[in-house]
Amino acid sequence: MLQNLSNEVLYEMVRKIADGGMGLVYEALQKGAGNFSKSVAIKLIREEYSAIPEFQKNFIGEARLVADLIHTNIVQTYHLGEVNNQYFMVMEYVDGVNLEQFLDKQRELNRPIPIEVAVFIISRVARGLAYAHQKCDAKGRLLGIVHRDIGPKNIMLTWEGDVKLTDFGIAKALDLMYNEEGKVIAGKDEYLSPEQASYAVTDGRADLFGLGIVLTELLLSRNIFRATDRLDSRRNILTMEIPQFAGLRVEIDEKLEAIIQRLLTRDRDRRFQTAYEVLTELEFYLYSDGYGPTNEKLGVYLRELMGYAAPGTRSPLSVPINPGQTG
Catalytic (active site) residue 229: no
Contacts with 155 (C-beta within 8 Å, 6 or more apart), sequence order = 98, 99, 121, 125, 163, 164, 165, 166, 214
Q: How far apart are CA 68 and CA 66, in angstroms?
A: 6
Residues 78, 91 contacting (CB under 8 angstroms): yes
Of the listed 137, 149, 189, 269, which one is catalytic? 149
Identify any residues that bridge with 92 across adjacent strands, giving them in sequence order.
40
Residues 218, 230 contacting (CB under 8 angstroms): no
- Tell the burial category of 214 from Cβ atoms under 10 Å away from its Cβ (0-12, 13-18, 19+): buried
Write out the H or E segment, with its range, that includes residue 29. strand 23-32
How many other β-carbons are positioned within 10 Å of the β-carbon of residue 30? 19
59: helix, strand or coil? helix
Q: How far apart are CA 286 and CA 242, in angstroms?
A: 24
Catalytic residues: 149
